[in-house]
Chains A and B, each alone.
Chain A
Amino acid sequence: MVKTGKDRWTYELTRKAYGETLVELGHENPRIVVLDADLAESTLTKFFRDEFPDRFFEIGIAEQDMVGTAAGLALQGFIPFLSSYAIFITGRAWDQCRQDVDYMKTNVKLSAAHGGISVGKDGPTHQSMEDLACMSACTNMKVLVPADYHETIKAVRWSAEYEGPVYFRLGREKVPMVTEEPSPFEMGKGFVHVDGTDGTIIACGLMLSQAIEAREILEEEDGIKPRVVNMPFLKPIDEEMIIKCAKENGPIVTAEEHQVYGGFGSIIARVVVENHPVPMRIVGIPNMYLGSGDPFDLLAIAGLTGRHIANKMKEVL
């Protein structure tokens, strides 16, 4: 039996990687500044606050002001990382994200904690299932969802070096450690995580762990060996990799912790239909609010599991 579910993995917080890496960056580069909107205790920017109080700006519960303020700091040559929950950055301050960050191309790093539905018990008002669509629709924004702790460190370090607007999404819960310290990371690139010959599963964020489980289920039950691709960047999307997978392996199943309207799967589907159409399935949150509950219950209700991905792959192979 393929080992699935909670006990399968070791888990760590992506926001811990974020908080710790900010402190390292703070020591390396005096232009790094951090802003938060009364969630420093939760986004873990408190590590930076305690180490560099002069370069930390607590804005209070005022996300629109925070995004605008970060844009101003960027105009002064600083590299602002700002934090709140994904829904409050992309929902409450959408207009500021678009005009003050994206349109003005300010060097602001939008760090979105508590993405997805694995926020769990706080319920739909705090879950974020639309943020990737909102941010990917922006013209200049680079958008990514690190898979785990190690990839978050790389994402944060890359964001600091890259000159321009970035949105990266982290989670509330500890998530499976699927990548390793030496695993590759490059802007706009996806990476083959496990190779295979029968279709391709392309995943981002915590769904990479479920893609790996799906592959194991398919191999054990049906001798099917799909390729698993880790694709943290939604924008720029790795068109080359997607087309290569479609040509070599045929059917594609995508997996994301986001609404199926306009998210990761939609972006990949556009590349597929325009370049090399193959049968596809998009595993994501169906168009519904899921309510409060245990994060793993909610993921299962939404079909964000290895089993569900495996079933979808069987449909298209």
Chain B
Amino acid sequence: MSIGTANLSVDELKEMARTIRRDCLVQTHVAKSGHPGGPLSAADYLTSLYFNYVKVDPKNPKDDSRDYFIISNGHCSALNYALLSRRGFFPPGYLMTFRSTGSGLEGHPNRHKTPGVDISAGSLGHGLPIAHGIALGAKLKGSDQRVFVNLGDGELQEGSCWEAIMAAAHYRSDNILAVVDYNDVQIDGRTHEVMNIRPLDGKFKAFGWKVFEGNGHDMNEVIRLLDHAIDSMGKGQPVVVLFHTVMMKGVPSFENDHIWHGKALADDKLLQTALTELGYNETPKEAVASYGDVNVARGEYHKIMGWPPPQVCDRD
């Protein structure tokens, strides 16, 4: 395999997004902790972006010509890990170690422990400044690497985001594309009630960005928006796509409720409901078992990372 995109069809992307939603729900279920809400709201547009636009080589994660893909809102780690494993960086079976003691899949992504993770994130409002530094660095090196960065809408309350938004326009960094998970939800409630960030399009425009906006769940529209946004790169302006989304999208019983921001469907009954609503005819136990022997996956992961062989751990 070499550097490139996975180039999936619309139907394949839709099916991949469904798989990834299931991965996110099962990971957080097994960990009995973590954040399912944001991952399910960003699943459609980030699947599309990551599989069809971001150039990477899963067998050579640090390839010099790769595009950078940064999930700045690090609490969406379950989604980050699902995307990476389904893209081929490591076996999906390893997802079942999510957040457990000693796992490379930490609560928030750690660039030293997960292949394909370019920055460690968790504290909000760091991703865009770093992404912009990477973008400036790419230009300085004469590289045509692009930088893709996902931001939460609540995250955009951090002043550091706006400092970077100002700087990226100032430097005409047109090799950076930001995508915003505009789900209007954060921990304490609806974003427009907690601390209103609207109008986002007007703010980005006033700061000098090229702005696209649309539905983040309709796969055809997502592709259309991303095509336009990527066409707009390289034209002297940073670019952002505001994706209107719904927290916990895909599992109607849980949709749009802020309590699922950081609460796993730990209970079997809850996961059962969600799996059924996603269209999977399986029990939570069967779902977990489908990921295979976690110790085998752990062994493979350690090999990929060049770590010493894992000690078999009964706790899982």
Contacts and interface: CB of A to CB of B under 8 A. Distances in A.
Q: Note whether A and B form a binding pair.
A: yes
Contact of A121 (B107, B123, B124, B154): B107
Given A40-B188, A292-B99, A292-B103, A123 B122 contact: yes
B155 interface: yes
A104 B74 CA distance: 34
A291 B188 CA distance: 27
B107 A292 contact: yes
Interface string B250-269: 00000000000000000000
Question: 9 nearest interchain CB pairs?
Answer: A125-B122, A60-B195, A293-B101, A123-B107, A60-B157, A292-B106, A123-B106, A122-B107, A297-B101
A127 to B, nearest CB: 10
Interface in A56-75: 58-62, 64-65
A124 interface: yes
Contacts of A124: 106, 108, 110, 122
Interface in A257-285: none
Interface of A: 36, 38-42, 46, 58-62, 64-65, 87-88, 91-92, 120-126, 291-294, 297-298, 301
B289 interface: no
Given A38-B188, A121-B34, A292-B101, A61 B106 contact: no
Nearest to A39: B187
Contacts of B271: none
Report the interface size class on chain B. 20 to 34
Contacts of A64: 159
Contacts of B31: 121
A125 B123 contact: yes
A123 B34 CA distance: 11
A58 B194 contact: yes
A42 B261 CA distance: 12
A9 to B, nearest CB: 21
A61 B154 contact: yes
Contacts of A298: 101
B5 interface: no
B51 to A, nearest CB: 27
Nearest to A87: B123
Interface of B: 31, 33-34, 74, 99-103, 105-108, 110, 113, 120-125, 154-155, 157-159, 186-188, 194-195, 197
A87 to B, nearest CB: 7
A40 B258 CA distance: 13
Nearest to A297: B101
Given A38-B194, A297-B101, A58 B188 contact: yes
A46 B194 CA distance: 13
Contacts of B33: 120-122
Given A38-B157, A58-B195, A60-B195, A88 B123 contact: yes
Nearest to A46: B188
B102 A61 contact: no
Contacts of B197: 60
Contacts of A87: 123
Contacts of B102: 291, 293
A65 B162 CA distance: 13
A41 B34 CA distance: 15
B121 A125 contact: yes
A24 to B, nearest CB: 22
A152 B33 CA distance: 26
Given A41-B187, A121-B31, A292-B99, 13 more contacts: A38-B154, A38-B186, A38-B187, A38-B194, A58-B188, A60-B186, A61-B195, A62-B157, A125-B74, A126-B107, A126-B122, A291-B110, A298-B101
Name, among B74, B120, B121, B194, the residue most crowded by chain A CB atoms within 10 Å (CB to CB).
B194
B66 to A, nearest CB: 24
Contacts of B122: 122-126
Contact of B106 (A58, A59, A62, A291): A291
